Structure 1
Amino acid sequence: MKRRDFVHLAGLGIGGMALAVPITGKAVSVERFLEMPLDNAQKKALADVALNTARANGASYADVRIGRYLNQYVFTRENKVQNIVNTESFGVGIRVIVNDTWGFAATNEVTPDGIKKATEQATAIAKANSKFQTDPVKLAPVKSYGEVSWKAPIQKNAFEVPVSEKVDLLLSANAAAQEAGASFVNSSLFMVNEQKYFASTEGSYIDQDVHRIWPTFSVNAIDREAGKFKSRNAMSAPMGMGWEYMIPKAEDKLQGPDGMMLYRKSYDIVEDAGIAAMQAKGMLSAKSVEPGKYDLVLEPNHLGLTIHESVGHPLELDRVLGYEANYAGTSFATLDKLESGDFKYGSDVVNIFADKVQEGTLGAVGYDDEGVQCKRWDLIKDGVLVNYQAIRDQVHIIDQNESHGCCYAQTWQDVQFQRMPNVSLAPGNDPYSSAQMIKDVEKGIYIAGRGSYSIDQQRYNFQFGGTVFYEIKDGEIAGMLNDVAYQSNTQEFWNSCVKICDEDDYRFFGSFFDGKGQPSQVSAVSHGSSTARFNGVNVINTGRSI
């Protein structure tokens, strides 16, 4: 290994360990982010090389993805910069059907010769696999869109903002936390730009420009005499937005309990870091929860993770069918539950939908990685299971003839497969705020922010923690709590949902690095909701030994 390669990889490791995030691509200069290696005419010509080669080698279908993936990660701690990572990944992935069998190959040689060789390899793989194919691939029809484009409706490209400005913002947040009493603080900023060009033998040539951003931090407060420490993570959400998310707007702030601020489509990281330090200090003296049954008031930044694990994953059709099992299990929501037409996944107020076009979300795109135009569809309607998440070669299994448009690959070198779209809980129809909800609770707990969790291999029995917890007594916040986690099963939990705040309270939770598959791939997905109330949920004390 060359010395410069060792230094590069070691540097990535130091930064990556800060949050154990996947880092892919080749290290590049910041200036490289604003260059455009190919225009659309060049991409189309290269795509046609793959499509024509595939046809000549016996393919009944082929698609090609020319992808350029840009990543910038900034890591800081207290008053120091730990690492700055700038990477680019650029290449082509070709997928074909020959003899009713899939084949796939990829190359970083983005030239006519390189693409021709990769396409020939993909068709050869399909022909070899076809000897063992028992069920022919069946693709749902899709419209030919011709030459189209989609761009994330960002206001300011985060890659155009100087690195020094990003560092100053993170260090300002760290300083605010320390001034408010934090013993330690680290902060990070993740920015991603996916430039994707898709073409298929069905006549679509689709160019897309996707942007995502995630500011986050962790604050620690220490009581050295007592030998205790408490942490509070950021109340930010990863978003499918540009730098405008980092410019605070008063109209995007909601007041939570005890001075806590909650954020919608813009985020004040400096303000949140200062509040986080005060809350972490408060946790040091907060009382430990008494186990028992409580009414839970769950705010969206917390509830999103519960939606993700107990609704998003179990309604992926490949899990339902048992095709996905090694990575986080299968699903209890088997086909017979959909076919019955009356399986009560939740109470009557629970309406959960999938959406690949919801503006500002991590999963928002115009077309998926199979060239299917994205849309919104219902998963749970009035508490009843009504659909799954499925792609072109799956929907015939559930007697549908249109893909849901939720196929995705993490990079050009990975084969696309079914991934979770944005899965969200619809807000309530009647005017109702979180403050009103708290007033209606006699004995309960308000939970904000995501925490540790556990769920079984069928996505059924689970346990969730959170970031901050407040006791509710007779309609009033009665102080902070420690050691809170709630246990339930998916059907019991969602059937205990009795009230959901209106759309004024609606905001997002997000997962920037959601893993699935063997070999593993990550994707980004958002989950929207308003604050919701769940009655009579079992709460345990995580600080007591059994």
Structure 2
Amino acid sequence: MKRKDFLYLTGMGFGATMLSRIPVFGSPIQHNGILNGADTALKKKMADVALNAARSKGATYTDVRIGRYLNQYVVTRENKVENLVDTESFGMGIRVIANGCWGFAATDKLDDDSIAKAAAMAVAIAKENSRIQTEPVQLAPQKGYGEVSWKTPIEKNGFEVPMKEKTDLLLSVNDAAMKGGANYVNSIIFLVNEQKYFASTEGSYIDQDIHRIWPIFAITKIDDKTGNFETRQSLSAPRGMGYEYLEPRESDKIHGVTTRYRDRYDMLEDAKAGAPQAAEKIKAKSVEAGKYDLVLDPSHLWLTIHESVGHPSELDRVLGYEANFAGTSFLTLDKWKSGKFNFGSKNVNIVADKTQPGSLGAVGYDDEGVESKKWDIIKDGILVNYQAIRDQAHIIGLKESQGCCYADSWSDVQFQRMPNISLQPGKAPLSPDDMIKNVEKGIYIVGDSSFSIDQQRYNFQFSGQLYYEIKNGKIVGMLNDVAYQSNTQEFWNSCAAVCDKNDYRLGGSFFDGKGQPEQVSAVSHGSSTALFKGVNVINTKRKI
């Protein structure tokens, strides 16, 4: 979608910081037609047309993805509803192997003749590719599952919630922020429903219904005397849940410097806290550069995990096959083969998991028809594995795919995408309050903000939303202009402690970009609050 169309759909007054975070996909549709889905029997019939047509043209393997992708955007600013948008994208992607090479074609015309033509085109492309490819594709073995289904275990379908209920919530959020002293506030509820049907010549017919939600706001506070301003983004995390995510229970609360929630999100309470915190940021003292112990909240640490662990452990980056948007990787095969590469301290255990309930990456099966699973990436600080799909598995001696293949649309070919990558909680009982009590000179960082990392995912810089100075085991006030610098190996080796499972929370990205043309995927990163010793902090000198 062109940028001018995006601006129109999301509302011109929406704000540059949030515009860049939520792109619009698909074509606008009427809200009352958004829940009309295709019959499973019809999807199977269409898939069989593609499978048979590809086989008749010489394909030795074929998979078919029929996708209906629904997005809903509810956009507000201050006391106004800026926009209500429903979009839909519907079609079929056909991937084949012929003469040992991949071919792919897609169509949004789903009559038998158009499907057969698309299948023939995919085979023709594969055969043409074989003229220059030197080695045939090697697929890891995969059993067929027959006819199976999977659905995100939601309690309330956000698309079925009346629009007035959603706009009333956002306007109440805005009102709370304005009453708390905000000068401007934007808020959004973004809903996604992927209705995906997969079929392959190996005998799988998989029907999946996947739901995701992201509530977000941005508060701006201006100092009347100086003209300086600060912002405070919401501390929500996008989740693989239904609308129940916005209906918090008392049991979900975790209390701290700022109100936090484990499995539900109180958007209204976050907005009430956000406006005074934005005002406090304006008056906060500028940090003195130096070495600090960092206490990193999960709302911040997820992004550091994503950039410094998630991307460099993607096998296609390790091999140099992929470099767009995130570069290659310093975690080369020789480090893995040694079996003793010291990625981090013994407190660092990183797990990939496509099965985790409530996470953005949770599905029953990936876009190659592989059942979701969980595996170790870093074990007791040592690099032990990567992220691999069917045609990569043999490279690192795997007998099967790890089930992390994904395409963001029926019209795009699927490829290796990051599963949920998470730091595991510490085993010993430890709360954030107890962790802070043992810090003499430190900074407690909450929320994510800007980052910079090199093309091998090694040297980096990160900043956050809120910074609190720690002296002699106590939080003594807010700081500003904070960013920390390190390299991946040094940083993760400085991890001195991780709080226990009672503090574990998910952060994540709805729009992790990769490939060219770009595709985006949704991925969560969980952790408990973690302590990193002696990290270099700089003053970003943003204040005039």
For residues 348-497 of structure 1, the aligned pairs below 5 Å read 348-497=346-495
| Alignment partners' CA distance in 2, 1:7 and 1:486 | 36
Q: Which runs of 5+ in 2 are unaligned?
A: none
Confirm whether residue 61 of structure 1 aligns to residue 56 of structure 2.
no
User: Does structure 1 retain, via aligned residues, the 8 Å contact 2:366–2:406?
Assistant: yes
Q: Is the 8 A contact 1:195 1:208 kept in 2?
A: yes
**Aligned equivalents of 1:47 and 1:143: distance in 2?**
18
Distance 2:62 2:45 in 1: 15
TM-score normalised according to structure 2 size: 0.97
1:14 and 2:24 aligned? no
Corresponding residue for 2:34?
Answer: 33
Matched residue, 1:102? 102
CA change 1:9–1:238 in 2 (3 A) is closer
Contact 2:105–2:122 (CA under 8 A) maintained in structure 1: yes
Mapping 1:115-514, distance limit 5 Å: 115-257=115-257, 260-514=258-512
The aligned amino acid for 2:226 is A
Q: Judge which range, 279-288 or 26-35, deviates more.
A: 26-35
Structure 1 SS opposite 2:126 = helix
Deviations 1:106-156 (A, max 9, x none): 000122112111101101111111111112100000111000000000000
Report SS of the residue matched to 1:239: coil
Q: CA deviation at 1:8?
A: 7.0
SS of the residue corresponding to residue 340 of structure 2 reads coil
Q: Tell me by how many angstroms 1:544 deviates.
A: 6.5
Inter-CA distance 225–383: structure 2 relative to 1 (3 Å threshold): same
What amino acid maps onto 1:329 in structure 2? Answer: G
Residue 538 of structure 1, aligned match among 533, 536, 539: 536
Q: Deviations over 1:219-262 (max 9, x none)?
A: 111112112101111010000000000101111111122xx101
CA distance in 2, matches of 1:9, 1:214: 18
Residue type of the partner of 1:12? Answer: L
| Equivalent-residue separation in structure 1 for 2:246 and 2:239 (angstroms) | 11
CA contact (8 A) 1:68 1:195 kept: yes
Q: 2:423, 2:10 → 1: CA distance?
A: 37
CA contact (8 A) 1:195 1:209 kept: yes
Residue identity matched to 1:234: S
Contact 1:71 1:192 in 2 (8 A): yes
Q: CA, structure 1 residues 458+7, in 2 after alignment: closer, same or farther (shift >3 Å)? A: closer
> Residue 19 of structure 2: SS of its match in structure 1?
coil
Paired residue type of 1:104: F
Give the SS at the match of 2:66: strand
Identity of aligned residues (%): 66
Alpha-carbon offset, residue 534 of structure 1: 0.2
Corresponding residue SS for 1:397? helix
The Cα shift of 1:372 comes to 0.3
How many Å separate the matches in 1 of 2:219 and 2:325?
31
Give how far 1:13 is off.
5.8
**Is the 2:6–2:24 contact (alpha carbons within 8 Å) kept by the matching residues of 1?**
no
CA deviation string 1:364-384 (max 9, x = no partner)? 000000000010000000000
Whole-Å separation in 2 of the counterparts to 1:427 and 1:326: 32
Paired residues of 1:8 and 1:27 also in contact (CA < 8 A): no
Instruction: Give the conservation status (yes or no) of the 8 Å contact 2:10–2:83.
Output: no
How far does residue 29 in structure 1 lie from its aligned partner after superposition? 1.2
Q: TM-score, normalised by structure 1?
A: 0.97
Q: Deviations over 1:196-231 (max 9, x none)?
A: 000000000000000000000111111121121011
Summarize the Cα distance change of 1:7–1:527 in structure 2 as closer, same or farther, 3 Å threshold: closer
CA distance in 1, matches of 2:261, 2:234: 11
8 A contact 2:387–2:404 mirrored in 1: yes
Q: Decide which moves more: 359-368 or 161-170.
A: 161-170
Alpha-carbon distance between aligned partners in 2 of 1:271 and 1:491, rounded to the nearest angstrom: 38
What SS does the corresponding residue of 1:125 show, helix, strand or coil? helix
The residue that corresponds to 1:78 in the other structure is 78
